[in-house]
């Protein structure tokens, strides 16, 4: 495939406000010509003056036509460009409108003089148009090319071979560079995390109301965020991995997860009736997807206690449901497997090694994989030559887990995924040797990996009086602390510390005691 000698970007009326050209200009100029940019509005100059620019990008140089009004606005963004050639009049010269128009035409002719093939960013992402060079010929500045005397001696489309470079530019736009990463972290990711805050707010209520929540109600924040964003999104992938969902209990089957039809969730699937045999659901699987970017994240959360706090002699009275315990153990191993796969890929950049990594985790210890359907995937193909500069999503699903307690039916599925970014560089040591160094960041790590809600008053251990614990009467007040765990599933938890307990394996000596109380709230970590 032949390559163009230059890429031509014309803004404003001179390209009939072509969106592909505007998209390229915004990529090069850090969003300067975005519609929500108020910097230009404050200048007081008309739009046709501010967007009066022509850019021609060649392999070894860049030509930029502008006017003395927008020159000062453009300069901070282009001053560092190598081999930059300005075509710009002085303020006094620009006052003569006829002379200014002739200068623009002659500058355009000079820009493209040494080219034979010219690339046009004809379409913007998500709005592909059939390339028509005769439409380009009707652009005002291109029409002016044919003017006698100051023009280029003939029609532009007859003198130059035009080619659409939109698809190639889209690949460049999708690569993660420092600027796009900053936008992602401080704009897209913050909005994405806010949707999870709204999701959790649905469950910050009393037990009877949690039981009456439907999949439609719980998933409304994710669904609204996705559907509204898709109105102006350029992403066309509508596979299940790129759609939000909330599925309760036994409704989270493989068929339902792979159907990809989450736009109209059922109002009849409630927490209280989506468990085995119409009982209370034991868990739910959820996924949030950014409509305008690569961010995606899925989790499995639980209804019921997945761990038992130590309560002395009363501990035997509080046993977790075996179904919830099984699901949480499988999910814990799935989380470990995905994180191990991400770390392995970050170090090796090898797809085969990624698929081997989960096999070395504790999943095989907890459950026999032969009786379950397990699926491991990375949504961005790892054999893609551009994958190193793209955001990737690692996902693992365990489908249709059987109900081992009753021996019939299934509990549903377990899902987990994270979006991550890798960076690889070659490091030269003092002895001259070169070795690769890699780092990775999990962009969605702030989304809680483990959470559970009590859905039965009887499953909640009854607290003792404020000044007593199973260790005895408390003599001092507690201090507010955060307790952290080395377990990757557990988030730091706020509570009160009343002391500490240490028993030596070799000495029969008690040095202190610990009583940690969680702050009020029904969402509790599943493992500590």
What is the pLDDT confidence band of residue 389, given thresholds at 50, 70 and 90? low
Residue 193 pLDDT class (50, 70, 90 cuts): very high
Question: What are the tens digits of pLDDT across the range 103-156?
Answer: 999 999 999 999 999 999 999 987 889 999 999 999 999 999 888 777 667 889
Same domain, 199 and 97: no
d(CA 454, CA 207): 7
**Average pLDDT of the residues of the chain:** 81
pLDDT digits (tens, 9 = 90+) for 498-508: 666 555 444 44
Q: Which tokens hold the place of 521?
A: 């709230």
Tokens coding 501: 């307990």
- Residue 472: give the domain boundaries: 463-528
At residue 365 the predicted structure's pLDDT band, cuts being 50, 70 and 90, is: very low
What are residue 390's phi and psi, to 5 degrees?
Answer: -110, 155
Tokens matching residue 246? 């909330």
190 shares a domain with 157 = no
Examine the domain organization and report whether 261 and 406 are in the same domain: yes
Q: Which residues of 421-447 are buried (b: 16+ CB within 10 A; e: fewer)?
A: bbeeeeeeeeeeeeeeeeebebbbeeb
Number of domains in the chain: 3
Identify the CATH number of the domain in which residue 59 sits.
Answer: 3.40.350
Q: pLDDT, tens digit, for every residue of 284-323?
A: 999 999 998 889 999 999 998 766 555 555 555 555 567 8
Distances (CA, A) of 46 to 34, 103, 202: 15, 20, 48
Q: Is the dihedral of CA 380, 260, 267, 326 positive or negative?
A: negative
449 and 429, same domain (yes or no): yes
- For residues 413 and 480, membership in a common domain is answered with no
Task: Name 259's Cβ contacts closer than 8 Å, sequence gap at least 6.
Answer: 240
Average pLDDT for residues 221-231, to the nearest whole number? Answer: 90
- Nearest Cα neighbor of 325 from 367, 286, 359, 358 is 367
Give the mean pLDDT of 416-430: 89
- Average the pLDDT over each of 427-431, 464-468, 504-508 and give the range with the smallest value: 504-508
**pLDDT recorded at residue 88:** 96
Residues 497 and 414 in one domain: no
pLDDT in the model for residue 430: 86
d(CA 296, CA 244): 9
Q: Are residues 318 and 208 in the same domain?
A: yes
Query: According to the 3-state scheme, what is the secondary structure of 288-355?
Result: EECCCCCCEEEEEEEECCCCCCCCHHHHHHCCCCHHHHHHHHHHHHHHHHHHHHHHHHHHHCCHHHHH
Instruction: Verify that 521 and 413 share a domain, yes or no.
Output: no
Q: Can you read off the two tokens belonging to residue 274?
A: 């989506």
Is 68 within a domain? yes
Judgement on whether residues 487 and 447 belong to the same structural domain of the protein: no
Residues 278, 453, 404: CA angle, nearest 5 degrees: 45
Last residue within a domain, chosen from 436, 459, 482: 459
pLDDT band at 510 (very low <50, low <70, confident <90, very high): very low
Last residue of a domain, one of 173, 191, 206: 173
What is residue 346's predicted lDDT score, i.e. its pLDDT?
85
Q: Is residue 482 part of a domain?
A: yes
Residues 231 and 162 in one domain: no
User: What pairing do the DSSP bridges indicate for beta strands 84-87 and 62-65?
Assistant: parallel
**Pair 179, 271 in one domain:** yes
User: pTM value?
Assistant: 0.77
Domain-located, residue 1: no
Token pair in block for residue 310 = 């130590």
**Claim to verify: residue 157 and residue 194 sit in the same structural domain:** no
CATH number at residue 283: 3.90.230
Nearest to 125 by CA among 11, 286, 236, 202: 236
* Residues 388 and 352: beta-carbon distance below 8 Å: no
- Bigger pLDDT: 207 vs 35: 207
Domain end call among 437, 459, 481: 459
């Amino acid at each position: 495939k032949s390559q163009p000698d230059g890429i031509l970007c014309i803004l404003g009326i001179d390209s009939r406000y072509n969106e592909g050209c505007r998209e390229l200009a915004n990529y090069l100029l850090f969003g300067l010509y975005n519609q929500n940019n108020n910097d230009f509005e404050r200048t007081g100059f008309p739009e046709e003056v501010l967007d009066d620019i022509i850019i021609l990008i060649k392999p070894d140089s860049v030509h930029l036509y502008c006017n003395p009004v927008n020159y000062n606005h453009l300069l901070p963004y282009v001053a560092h460009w190598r081999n930059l050639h300005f075509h710009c009049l002085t303020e006094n010269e620009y006052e003569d409108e006829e002379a200014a128009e002739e200068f623009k035409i002659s500058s355009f002719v000079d820009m493209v003089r040494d080219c034979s093939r010219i690339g046009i960013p004809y379409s913007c992402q998500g709005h592909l148009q059939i390339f028509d060079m005769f439409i380009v010929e009707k652009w005002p500045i291109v029409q002016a090319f044919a003017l006698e005397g100051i023009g280029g001696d003939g029609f532009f489309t007859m003198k130059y071979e035009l080619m659409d470079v939109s698809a190639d530019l889209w690949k460049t736009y999708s690569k993660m560079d420092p600027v796009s990463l900053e936008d992602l972290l401080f704009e897209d990711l913050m909005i994405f995390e806010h949707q999870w805050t709204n999701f959790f707010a649905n469950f910050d209520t009393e037990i009877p109301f949690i039981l009456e929540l439907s999949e439609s109600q719980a998933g409304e924040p994710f669904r609204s965020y996705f559907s509204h964003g898709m109105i102006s999104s350029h992403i066309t992938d509508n596979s299940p991995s790129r759609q939000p969902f909330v599925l309760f209990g036994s409704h989270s089957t493989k068929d339902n997860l792979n159907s990809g039809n989450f736009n109209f969730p059922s109002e009849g699937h409630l927490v209280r009736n989506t468990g085995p045999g119409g009982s209370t659901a034991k868990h739910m699987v959820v996924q949030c997807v950014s409509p305008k970017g690569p961010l995606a994240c899925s989790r499995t959360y639980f209804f019921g206690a997945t761990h038992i706090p130590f309560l002395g002699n009363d501990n035997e009275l509080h046993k977790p449901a075996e179904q919830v315990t099984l699901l949480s153990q499988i999910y814990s191993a799935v989380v470990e497997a995905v994180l191990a796969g991400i770390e392995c890929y970050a170090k090796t950049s090898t797809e085969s090694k990624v698929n081997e990594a989960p096999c070395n985790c504790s999943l095989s210890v907890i459950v026999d994989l032969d009786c379950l359907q397990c699926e491991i995937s990375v949504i961005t193909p790892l054999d893609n030559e551009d994958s190193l500069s793209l955001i990737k999503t690692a996902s693992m699903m365990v489908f249709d887990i059987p109900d081992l307690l009753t021996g019939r039916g299934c509990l549903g599925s377990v899902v987990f995924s994270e979006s991550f970014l890798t960076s690889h560089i070659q490091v030269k040591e003092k002895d001259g040797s070169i070795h690769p160094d890699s780092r990775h960041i999990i962009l969605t790590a702030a989304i809680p990996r483990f959470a559970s809600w009590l859905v039965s008053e009887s499953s909640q251990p009854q607290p003792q009086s404020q000044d007593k614990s199973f260790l005895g009467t408390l003599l001092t007040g507690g201090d507010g602390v955060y307790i952290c765990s080395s377990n990757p599933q557990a988030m730091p938890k706020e509570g009160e510390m009343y002391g500490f307990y240490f028993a030596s394996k070799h000495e029969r000596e008690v040095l202190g005691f610990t009583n940690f109380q969680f702050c009020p709230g029904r969402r509790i970590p599943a493992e500590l």
